[in-house]
Structure 1
Amino acid sequence: MKAIVQDRYGSPDVLELREVERPVPGDHQVLVRVRAAAVNARDWHLMRGDPYLARLVLGLGAPKVKVRGTDFAGVVEAVGKDVTGLRPGDEVFGEAEGAFAEYVCAPAEAVAAMPAGLTYEQAAALPLAGNTALMGLRDLGRVRPGQRVLVNGASGGVGTFAVQIAKAFGAEVTGVCGPRNVDLVRSLGADHVVDYSREDFTRRGPRHDLVLDLVGNRSLADCRRALTPAGTLVLSGGGVSDGGSLVGPMALLVKGQALSLFVGQRLLVLTATPRRENLEALRDLVEPGEVTPVIDRAYPLREVPEAIRYLEVEHARAKVVITV
């Protein structure tokens, strides 16, 4: 099968389309014929081995997992002997290492039936970004109807889902984005849109019950100013740059946890974990039309390096997907 393979850390130039062996599913895995995949910030972090401390897990001199990509949508080809609820021919979406390929083996607990009415490209856009938004708002943020929620980075892959999910949960939503994306964020249902080139969201009123920061370009003190005295700040590690290339978002995690001991606000860092029940929760939001994946661009499999370069350099809005 064809796959995007990486032998060393570096720029998108280290990614190559090659013929590799088709994976074989284990007892608790499903083999999926990939129809579409999606690009995430995680992909270029893994591609570059950034932050450097993460290489202790990813591989010191080169990545242990050679095939890039995480999000996918496609058709089940085979299932392991202990897998229940899924069978060959099912249309599914989910998360697994090695999704930039014609076939991927995925843990059954990270795969679910595709939402009805979506294309493969739309379904592939959902898993990682949608799950990050869902866990940040529902699990850490504990969002409730009537609360004021601010999403910093509202036009990005996670942000476009976060705005819609917060609205579906009954919140009053403010989205922060650049000038070219104001109309997009407003079309997602945001009650208020802040153009960061014209206004500082940390200094405008009113204060918010929950701030979901997907950018990491403001200090903890700045973000806390946008919160009520008992509000919650959720920092997504996927977008946090504080700490530099050595430790990345871990520095901000330590700062947030230490500061939480002395203030009334909750300061939390989100690490999203793939779960079938979360995919099913996303499906339940998508099928009635409360959440719709937004796609910026689509690239064929052979152009994954260009897709990642676009995401990394051009600040893509919404999701960038790969057709297989």
Structure 2
Amino acid sequence: MTFNLPNGFKPPDISLPRTQTAIVQDNAGKAIVTHDASIPKLEPDMVLVRVTAVSINPCDWKMPAKFPTPGAKIGCDFSGVVIAIGPDVLRTSHDIALGDRVCGGVHGSNPIDTQTGAFAQYVAAYGDLLLKLPDHIDHVSGAVLGASVISTLSIVLHSALRLEGTLEKPVHPDKNSGLYVLVYGGSTSTGTMAIQLLKLSGYKPITTCSPRNNDLVRSFGAEAVFDYRSPSCADDIRTFTSRSLSRVLDVITDARSQIICGNAFGRTGGSYTVLELPDPDSPIAHKRTVDTQMVVGLAATGKQIALDHGYERAADPQLRQQAAKNFSAVQILMDNGQLRIHPARVVPGSFQGIVEGLKILSEKATSGEKLVCFVDEREEALHLDRL
């Protein structure tokens, strides 16, 4: 059927189905497939994207488990094709056009906006938090990149860790031997991106992972790699950094990581950034020299994050401005071929594949790769034919 889009959108109307297929939460928060999901509402600063592929993040199964919202669409990261552009996007950006291949992210499992979610045939996303896919990046890699990692690291690097070096104005590590930053959990997609952005900003990223992923994290730019299962892991990090470590990003945030990270800091302590709620009884929580901050990457939208138990965030437009600037810098890196994408593992089966992928991730049955599912079954068939 033909939908009349809000005033100022390009095009003014578009042919869309009355409902769409999507992954939503049932009454217990469990992911189910529905064919009666609504087409998302559009705001002036949004674009409408026909989704090609999606990737699965830990938050895609953790949020429904922690904060069940019946009927809420699930999913954050996607790649797809722009089919409508809002007037604010048209006015402020000359880069996004109809038919562009893009990747981005949204706040899936949103208790105050249940229509938002990437695991669907169509998604509405903010135009300034999108990346255009150059010809050398396909939809699988685009889905891996998405936007959640870029949004999260925008807050981590510039607000939580308060690093002076940026992608536009990097510091000079050759003149500053103490510019080490530890990324605990380097073989995750957030870890490999953090390693790259830190290095491109002039820092010396070091990381932890399982030894089987050592080559992976080194290929993304890690200066040194430590086995998180080794009893001497923290001591090894302290020795390597000459007890100068003052900046730590803990991607994993479990009991082991908090102990290792706490013991890896130098004498003067520093900034410890986590992506999950830390244990208040962990030894690091009682270190007066260590400033712990938990980052909720979804806050980069600038909108209210209406969760609870420490994950809630007030609306903060400055975070949106900061994230948009970071997306612009990352776009240049992508266009110039300076950014590598985390390895992908495609789970077949379209929407049923997404349900299976959520199960795989929740059971921690994957390592060193990001799970991707095609929403567009035709694109999935083409992908399989090329293998």
TM-score (norm. length: structure 2): 0.69
1:44 corresponds in structure 2 to 61
Deviation at 1:133, TM superposition (A): 3.1
- 1:98 partner letter: G
Q: Which runs of 5+ in 1 are unaligned?
A: 56-61, 244-250
Question: What secondary structure, in the 3-state scheme, does the structure 2 residue paired with 1:92 have?
Answer: strand
Q: Which runs of 5+ in 2 are unaligned?
A: 1-19, 107-115, 166-170, 174-178, 302-322, 376-387
Alignment partner of 1:229 out of 258, 267, 273: 267
2:124 corresponds in structure 1 to 105
Task: Give me the whole-angstrom Cα distance separating, in 2, the residues matched to 1:170 and 1:158.
Answer: 18
2:252 corresponds in structure 1 to 215
Alignment coverage as a number of residue pairs: 297
Structure 2 matches for 1:263-302, cutoff 5 A? 263=289, 265-272=290-297, 273-274=300-301, 275-300=323-348, 301-302=350-351
Structure 2 matches for 1:163-182, cutoff 5 A? 163-182=195-214
Task: Give me the whole-angstrom Cα distance separating, in 2, the residues matched to 1:148 and 1:155.
Answer: 18
Deviation at 1:220, TM superposition (A): 5.0
Alignment partner of 1:136 out of 135, 150, 156: 156
2:89 corresponds in structure 1 to 83
Alignment partner of 2:193 out of 142, 161, 164: 161
1:248 corresponds in structure 2 to none
Mapped contact 2:47–2:85 kept (Cα < 8 A)? yes
Q: Does 1:317 align with 2:334?
A: no
Q: 1:90 to 1:183 in 2, by over 3 A?
A: same
Alignment partner of 1:20 out of 1, 19, 37: 37
Q: Which 4+ stretches in 1 moved above 4 angstroms?
A: 219-222
- 2:195 partner letter: V
Task: Give me the whole-angstrom Cα distance separating, in 2, the residues matched to 1:113 and 1:252.
Answer: 44
Which structure carries more relative contact order (alpha carbon 8 Å, separation 6+)?
1
- 1:75 partner letter: V
- 2:372 partner letter: V
Mapped contact 2:47–2:127 kept (Cα < 8 A)? yes
Task: Give me the whole-angstrom Cα distance separating, in 2, the residues matched to 1:24 and 1:137.
Answer: 32
- 1:104 partner letter: V
Deviation at 1:252, TM superposition (A): 8.1
Q: 1:65 to 1:159 in 2, by over 3 A?
A: farther
- 1:213 partner letter: D
Q: 1:312 to 1:175 in 2, by over 3 A?
A: same
Q: 1:319 to 1:308 in 2, by over 3 A?
A: same
Task: Give me the whole-angstrom Cα distance separating, in 2, the residues matched to 1:128 and 1:110.
Answer: 10
Question: What secondary structure, in the 3-state scheme, does the structure 1 residue paired with 2:266 have?
Answer: strand
Task: Give me the whole-angstrom Cα distance separating, in 1, the residues matched to 2:259 and 2:63.
Answer: 30
Mapped contact 2:192–2:220 kept (Cα < 8 A)? yes
Question: What secondary structure, in the 3-state scheme, does the structure 1 residue paired with 2:246 have?
Answer: strand
- 2:104 partner letter: G
- 1:93 partner letter: C
- 2:200 partner letter: A
Task: Give me the whole-angstrom Cα distance separating, in 2, the residues matched to 1:89 and 1:288.
Answer: 21
Task: Give me the whole-angstrom Cα distance separating, in 2, the residues matched to 1:219 and 1:111.
Answer: 32
Aligned CA-pair RMSD:
2.7
Question: What secondary structure, in the 3-state scheme, does the structure 2 residue paired with 1:31 have?
Answer: strand
Q: 1:161 to 1:139 in 2, by over 3 A?
A: same
Mapped contact 1:150–1:173 kept (Cα < 8 A)? yes
Moved more, 109-118 or 302-311: 109-118
CA deviation digits over 1:13-71, x for unaligned, max 9?
Answer: x42253434334233321101112111111011221x1xxxx3xxxxxx4156211111
Moved more, 110-119 or 70-79: 110-119
Moved more, 214-223 or 307-316: 214-223
Deviation at 1:318, TM superposition (A): 3.5
Mapped contact 2:270–2:291 kept (Cα < 8 A)? yes
TM-score (norm. length: structure 1): 0.81
Q: 1:177 to 1:138 in 2, by over 3 A?
A: same
Deviation at 1:166, TM superposition (A): 1.6
Q: Does 1:120 align with 2:170?
A: no
1:305 corresponds in structure 2 to 355
Q: 1:116 to 1:167 in 2, by over 3 A?
A: farther
Mapped contact 1:152–1:211 kept (Cα < 8 A)? yes
CA deviation digits over 1:93-114, x for unaligned, max 9?
Answer: 2112311111111233433433
Structure showing greater Rg: 2
Deviation at 1:307, TM superposition (A): 0.9
How many percent of aligned residue pairs carry the same amino acid?
29
Task: Give me the whole-angstrom Cα distance separating, in 2, the residues matched to 1:281 and 1:169.
Answer: 11
- 1:317 partner letter: G
CA deviation digits over 1:225-275, x for unaligned, max 9?
Answer: 3122345333232xx3644xxxxxxx589x85xx57x42x44322222143
Task: Give me the whole-angstrom Cα distance separating, in 2, the residues matched to 1:114 and 1:65.
Answer: 31
Task: Give me the whole-angstrom Cα distance separating, in 1, the residues matched to 2:369 and 2:159.
Answer: 23
Compare the two structures and name the one with the higher strand fraction. 1
